[in-house]
Chain A
Amino acid sequence: DAKTTQPNSMESNEEEPVHLPCNHSTISGTDYIHWYRQLPSQGPEYVIHGLTSNVNNRMASLAIAEDRKSSTLILHRATLRDAAVYYCILTVINAGKSTFGDGTTLTVKP
């Protein structure tokens, strides 16, 4: 399975933008890039996903590099509620499963 690499932790100030990077240099042409986040004592929550083009939704934006070997999750204005572990994962289309790494722990400072 293609792997992703994320920084272990990042910090942000409240109400500032946050850019969470993810490297996936071994991505295959049909792998989707998904982002999930997990708050303490909860299951992961879907954030956004994309294939080639940049994507926006009410929670965040996803910027995908032209060669698809990296992507960035953008939270436009971080709030204290955004403090969580953020996972960048690749979905193996024909197998159905998604493989999580250890994610990035985002701390938001007031």
Chain B
Amino acid sequence: AQTVTQSQPEMSVQEAETVTLSCTYDTSESDYYLFWYKQPPSRQMILVIRQEAYKQQNATENRFSVNFQKAAKSFSLKISDSQLGDAAMYFCAYRSAVETSGSRLTFGEGTQLTVNP
């Protein structure tokens, strides 16, 4: 079974600074997808960014980028120019690319990000 670990329960960053959230995972599969979700106080989960394991290029979405290290099974999220609206719980998630596993996601424990003005 796959596992996802986020070792930082809480992180803080100054507004306009850069912060990196860590995520490691364990799998025996070679093809899979990785995601970062944001959960603001409203509790609505929002997809931030996704990465296909077969792609070597790191995904980017505006101020959000990832550092995907497949051999190390590491998938960190970098938030540049942090804004107050970035304050939220961030979840790392894994999904197998194997069709028979359905589309179920395995989530990490979450990292609570605080942005200080």
Do they bind each other?
Answer: no
Chain B residues packing against A (C-beta within 8 Å): none
Chain A residues packing against B (C-beta within 8 Å): none
